[in-house]
Structure 1
Amino acid sequence: MQVTLLGTGDTTGTPTVGCDCDTCQAARDPEEGVLQRAREQGATITAGGGVERTRFSVHVHNERTDESLLIDFSPDFRQQFLREDVPLPDEAIITHIHFDHLDGLGNCFRLVDDLTVHAADETDPETDKSVAETVESDYYYLDQIGVTPQTPFEPFETCGFEVTLVPVDHPPLLCYGLAVEDPETGAKLSLSGDTSYGLSEQSREVLSDPDLLLADGIVPAHLCEYHPMGGTHHDDEGVPRTFGTKHMTREGALALAEDLNAEQTRIVHIAHYYPAEEAFEQPLALDGERYDL
């Protein structure tokens, strides 16, 4: 199982368009230490000599079957696939309907002949549709796309992998994390999805013991003081593990990794609000990192 992090940023990415904050400037013109760390992690150095975090997407290739699974369709789909030179997906999964995880699906027009897209079948009270129904209705014009509804906690097969969707906590919409397992090799990838630290025990059980965990950690905990709702899910020392109500802090992501007994953890869905001196430190991911599980 080869995992390529196509996009590791939040809804605006880093650098953010029109932003000249220290972090965005450091991404455009990084210090040598940041570049060295990026090279060590296998991250992509841009044509301009910088690093970046485009909107979230993960590519998982099954070397045994020579099939590729795409998790979420970033609006930066075209850039990501050209940059990383990975195969187009044979099948795909969509975790939720926020634009930074879905709106790249339109890029499949004239690129693929037949693409099965898996998505959860639970009806969302906010939209009165499931994720699967929303994808099917919003992209009705893509004849080559076939949407297959999947029930959370019920494993299904795709690209030679066994995948299980699990509900996570990302109000007000329903959102899902997932586990991807290779039944032949035993390799396991877990994604937290966009979520607070408040995952159910049932979801945690499915995600547990991964070789690699990709955990949402949008900002460091000390920035919770700037959120209108502050931070939630505090640990015993009062450190918030959730930024507001929708995303984990860096500290929450690391706590979840410990809870799940993850062998290796990369923090993703990262905002440019990280101070520049923290934004490129371990274990925060950068685009282009690859992992062989």
Structure 2
Amino acid sequence: MRVTLLGTGDTTGTPTVGCDCDTCERARELGVERSRFSVHVENERTGESLLIDFSPDFRHQFLTQDVPLPDAALVTHIHFDHLDGLGNAYRLFDDLPVHATGEVDPVTDESVAGTIRRKYDYLDRVSVHDHAPNERFRVCGLDVRFVPVDHPPLLCYGVVVEDPETGAKCSLTGDTSYGIPEASRDALAAPDLLLADAIVPASSAEHHPFGGKHHDDEGVPRTFGTKHMTREGALDLAADLDAERTRLVHLAHYYPADEAFEEPLAVDGEQYDL
């Protein structure tokens, strides 16, 4: 199983358009990018590949990264930086199955699968498949499940991808606070590769209107505001989950420039063979 990080940034990416902050300037100097979030998983045994989330940077990602177009896709939630790249499917695919949860969100009165069906009804070569949270299903020869996480106010899901032949496991937290339910932590546990949301360092919480939450014993916030983990929270989660390797993703340009490209913060184009 080969995992390629197509997009490792948050909703504005790094460099951010029109921004001349030290971090964005440093990214330009290094020639690296964190485009909007997306992950490509290739099953080299079957020659099939799976896309997790449709970044608005879909076209750019597939033109610049040496990966095949997906045979199927997953969508974790309906925020634009994870869904709106689906419009790029127009004229590219003869058939593209898109998998999402059928659980109705009380905020939108619609499931993720339902939102995709409604917004992209003009894509007649895209078929939407509903799944219950925690339901195991097989796609591209891989075993997949959506696990509930905590990204208020909307329902959002992490993803577990396992190769039934080799036992390789990739866990993706999805957009989430540190308050991931225990059952989901159990499902995400012991991955060969953990991709963990870590939007900013904990020190940034002092600039958020809601501060931080899920503090550790030393008072360090593991959640920034209410929706995303801090770097420190993501690393604590990785330790809790006993991850063999961890890459921090969904990163904002608010990391100080001297920290923004240090390990284990990911950049676009990284590949991992599991």
Report if TM-score (shorter chain) is over 0.5.
yes
Among candidates 188, 207, 214, match of residue 195 of structure 2: 214
Q: Given residue 242 of structure 1, which amino acid in structure 2 is its aligned partner? A: T
Which secondary structure does the structure 1 equivalent of 2:81 belong to?
A: helix
Distance 2:134 2:37 in 1: 23
Which secondary structure does the structure 2 equivalent of 1:85 belong to?
A: coil
Distance 2:123 2:100 in 1: 16
Question: Are 1:20 and 2:38 matched, yes or no?
Answer: no
**Cα deviations by residue, 1:254-289 (Å, 9 ceiling, x for unpaired):** 001011110000000000000000100000000000
Distance 2:273 2:119 in 1: 35
Distance 2:11 2:54 in 1: 12
**Cα deviations by residue, 1:74-128 (Å, 9 ceiling, x for unpaired):** 0000000010021101000000000000000010111011000000111001110
Over the aligned positions, Cα root-mean-square deviation in angstroms equals: 0.4
Q: Which residue of 2 aligns with 1:195?
A: 176
Q: Which residue of 2 aligns with 1:159?
A: 140
Unaligned segments of structure 1, at least 5 residues = 31-49
In the TM superposition, what is the alpha-carbon distance from 1:181 to its structure 2 partner? 0.1
Q: Percent identity?
A: 74
Q: Which residue of 1 aligns with 2:164?
A: 183
Which structure 1 residue ranges, 4+ long, deviate > 4 Å from structure 2? none
Alignment of 1:15-164 (within 5 A): 15-30=15-30, 50-164=31-145
Alignment of 1:220-259 (within 5 A): 220-259=201-240
Number of aligned residues: 274
Distance 1:51 1:117 in 2: 30
Q: Given residue 283 of structure 1, which amino acid in structure 2 is its aligned partner? A: P
Which secondary structure does the structure 1 equivalent of 2:50 belong to?
A: strand
Which secondary structure does the structure 2 equivalent of 1:69 belong to?
A: strand
Distance 1:60 1:283 in 2: 20
Which secondary structure does the structure 2 equivalent of 1:80 belong to?
A: helix
Q: Given residue 228 of structure 1, which amino acid in structure 2 is its aligned partner? A: P
Unaligned segments of structure 2, at least 5 residues = none
Normalising to structure 1: TM-score of the pair? 0.93
Q: Given residue 7 of structure 2, which amino acid in structure 1 is its aligned partner? A: G
In the TM superposition, what is the alpha-carbon distance from 1:154 to its structure 2 partner? 1.1
In the TM superposition, what is the alpha-carbon distance from 1:25 to its structure 2 partner? 0.4
Which secondary structure does the structure 1 equivalent of 2:5 belong to?
A: strand
Q: Given residue 6 of structure 1, which amino acid in structure 2 is its aligned partner? A: L
Distance 1:260 1:135 in 2: 31
